[in-house]
Amino acid sequence: MPTDATFLLAALFIALGAIGLVYKVYTDRDLPPRISADYIRGLNLVLNRKTDEALELFVQMAKVDEDTLETHFALGHLFRRRGEIERAIRVHENLLARPNLNEAQRHQALFSLAEDYLGAGLFDRAEQLFGGLRDSTTLADAALEKLVTIYEREQEWQKAIDALRKLEMLRGAKSSQLAHYYCELAEIARAAGDRALAREHLRHTVRSESGALRGTLIRATLAREERDYAQAIPLYEQIIAADRHFISEVLPPLLECYREANRLPELDAYLERLVAADASLYRDLALASIVGNLSGSKALEAAVERFVFEHPVLAGLVNAAELRTLPAAERGTAMRRIAEALRGIALSNARYRCTNCGYSTQRFIWHCPSCKLWETVRPIQSVPLENVLARP
Ligand SMILES: [Zn+2]
């Protein structure tokens, strides 16, 4: 919804246009005084929210020059902000029909019209217009940025790469999301069974830290699928070393690799080394193990047990003191039952949340669909026990 501030802003622009014209009328006797009267009337119409009449007045205004151009843009912007896209389009198409615009003004009008199409969800038309401004001396940067957004939305990754590379050249700076576009292409190639092409795309993912991490994950997946565990295992471990947030994603396939390679004791040794280096990691391992329903690793079982025994609420709920005294086999059965209950709670709640906008999801994603940022979604590192109490 538009705010009063929007109206006031537009009114201010129009008032400035009118003042400029009045000034010109008094300093330039060749200018017909009728135009300034039109602007005053337009200002009144906008202030009184008689937008249809204001639109007609501006569209039919005979002369568009330096002084009145900004007012037209302000009016078009106002309409778009209010969701009145058809009116905005009319203002900008009307501007483009004027023969006396210079190149910068024409480009500005084309850009505004493209933004109208974008607002109306007409992506093809918007793409076409923004595409025409790729080499504009005044608006190439802004147009390329819009194109990248459109291609990202349409998941046209190769086109997004081309536009973003051009933008990077213009700005002389690398962006972090380019590596993700290559990762998207690599995932598509992998899903289609073209592993050579997937690896070719992955060569470009080392450009940024976040992209490199994701690239490593895809490389590890490719190796695991090829049963090349000697290659897959160190790649997965590299990811955990780089960012512990990925433990919940990486631990299940890592366990599978160790199991398939008949090297489970090595996994236990590796996990014990992790916890020895950073004691707080047992919680991450326990949560990943609970949620992923992982079994077969003594180190993971120990992490889950420690998590339950040391949890301030859980320990009381399950009577940890008594559990500790049970024989190993019985304790193991009890622990599996507790883990199963905890998994039920964890899976019925959001597991990941965007650190930027708070968007939450059950599945790990690299691109937040809400705020459109890359790699801001992180696992929620807790089991929301309080939600159990809130249920009927
Ligand atoms: Zn977000």
Tokens of 277: 């280096």
Distance 28 CA to ligand 1 centre (A): 55
Distance 186 CA to ligand 1 centre (A): 23
The amino acid at 267: L
Instruction: Classify residue 358 as left (phi > 0), alpha (psi -120 to 50) or beta.
Output: left
14-18, 190-194, 314-318: which is most confident: 190-194
Whether 42 maps to a domain, the answer reads: yes
Distance 356 CA to ligand 1 centre (A): 5
Whole-angstrom CA distances from 135 to 7, 88, 160 are: 34, 25, 16
What is the mean predicted confidence (pLDDT) over 310-315? Answer: 86
Percent of the chain exceeding pLDDT 70 equals 82
Distance 375 CA to ligand 1 centre (A): 9
Distance 349 CA to ligand 1 centre (A): 18
CATH number at residue 362: 2.20.28
pLDDT band at residue 29, thresholds of 50, 70 and 90? Answer: very low
Reduce the secondary structure of 329-377 to three states and give it as a string. Answer: HHHHHHHHHHHHHHHHHHHCCCCEEECCCCCEECCCCCECCCCCCECCE
Is the per-residue pLDDT at 338 higher than 60? yes
Distance 301 CA to ligand 1 centre (A): 34
Whether 53 maps to a domain, the answer reads: yes
The amino acid at 13: F
Using alpha carbons only, give the angle 221, 252, 339 rounded to the nearest 5 degrees. 165
Is the per-residue pLDDT at 26 higher than 50? no
pLDDT reported for residue 34: 47
Please tell me the distance from the alpha carbon of residue 356 to that of residue 243, in angstroms, as a whole number.
18
Whether 297 maps to a domain, the answer reads: no
Distance 374 CA to ligand 1 centre (A): 8
Whether 18 maps to a domain, the answer reads: yes
Domain that holds residue 59: 4-101
Give the end of a domain, one of 50, 67, 101: 101
Long-range contacts formed by 367-372: CB under 8 A, 24+ apart: 367/152, 367/180, 372/149, 372/152
Distance 367 CA to ligand 1 centre (A): 8
Tell me which residue of 274, 161, 150 sits closest to 211, measured CA to CA: 161
| pLDDT (tens digit per residue) in 228-282 | 999 999 999 999 999 998 999 999 999 999 999 999 999 999 999 999 999 999 9
Hey, what's the torsion of the CAs at 230, 232, 234, 235, to 10 degrees?
150
Whether 266 maps to a domain, the answer reads: no
Hey, what's the torsion of the CAs at 231, 237, 242, 244, to 10 degrees?
150
Distance 177 CA to ligand 1 centre (A): 14
Q: How many domains does the chain have?
A: 2
Give the end of a domain, one of 47, 71, 101: 101
Q: Residues 6 or more apart from 227 whose CB is under 8 A from it?
A: 260
Distance 376 CA to ligand 1 centre (A): 7
Whether 240 maps to a domain, the answer reads: no
Distance 353 CA to ligand 1 centre (A): 8
Distance 238 CA to ligand 1 centre (A): 26
Please tell me the distance from the alpha carbon of residue 342 to that of residue 159, in angstroms, as a whole number.
44
Whether 389 maps to a domain, the answer reads: yes
Distance 377 CA to ligand 1 centre (A): 7
Distance 172 CA to ligand 1 centre (A): 27
Distance 133 CA to ligand 1 centre (A): 29
Sign of CA dihedral 295, 297, 298, 300: negative
SS3 237: helix
Whether 325 maps to a domain, the answer reads: no
Strand ranges of the sheet holding 377-379, from the earlier edge strand across to the other edge: 360-361, 352-354, 377-379
Tell me which residue of 279, 289, 271, 386 sits closest to 340, measured CA to CA: 289
